[in-house]
């Protein structure tokens, strides 16, 4: 390790984990995620409406978390890593599905 007088290394502000992925989503979008079904040993697709996207601190790291209202499950909101979501239908500004 080399120290240079007058040289100060500063840490750049880092984006939250998953924030680049979250930029393609808007509240109201229909999204898909998968869950593992050990009975059939395959992934099940799940669908829901995106309600909220926010950054949270988990294990001393800022990550992007999305709150989704599932369509094909009971009506309890669930939180998922934004990076695990896939956009199915995008909501436009005039409240129409594209």
pLDDT along the chain (98 residues), means of 10: 51 50 82 94 94 88 91 85 91 57
In CATH, 19-89 is 2.30.30: yes
9, 10, 41, 65 from 49: Cα distances, Å: 43, 40, 26, 14
What local confidence, expressed as pLDDT, does residue 29 receive? 93
Ordered by start, the domain boundaries in the chain are 19-89
What local confidence, expressed as pLDDT, does residue 90 receive? 86
**pTM for the predicted model, two decimal places:** 0.67
What local confidence, expressed as pLDDT, does residue 72 receive? 79
């Amino acid at each position: 390790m080399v120290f240079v007088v007058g040289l100060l290394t500063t840490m750049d502000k880092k984006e939250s984990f998953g924030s680049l992925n979250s930029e393609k989503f808007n509240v109201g979008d229909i999204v898909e995620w998968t869950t593992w079904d050990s009975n059939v040993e395959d992934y099940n697709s799940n669908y829901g409406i995106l309600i909220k996207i926010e950054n949270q601190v988990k294990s001393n790291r800022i990550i992007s978390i999305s709150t989704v209202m599932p369509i094909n499950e009971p009506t309890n909101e669930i939180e998922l890593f934004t990076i695990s979501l896939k956009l199915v239908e995008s909501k436009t500004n005039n409240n129409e599905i594209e």
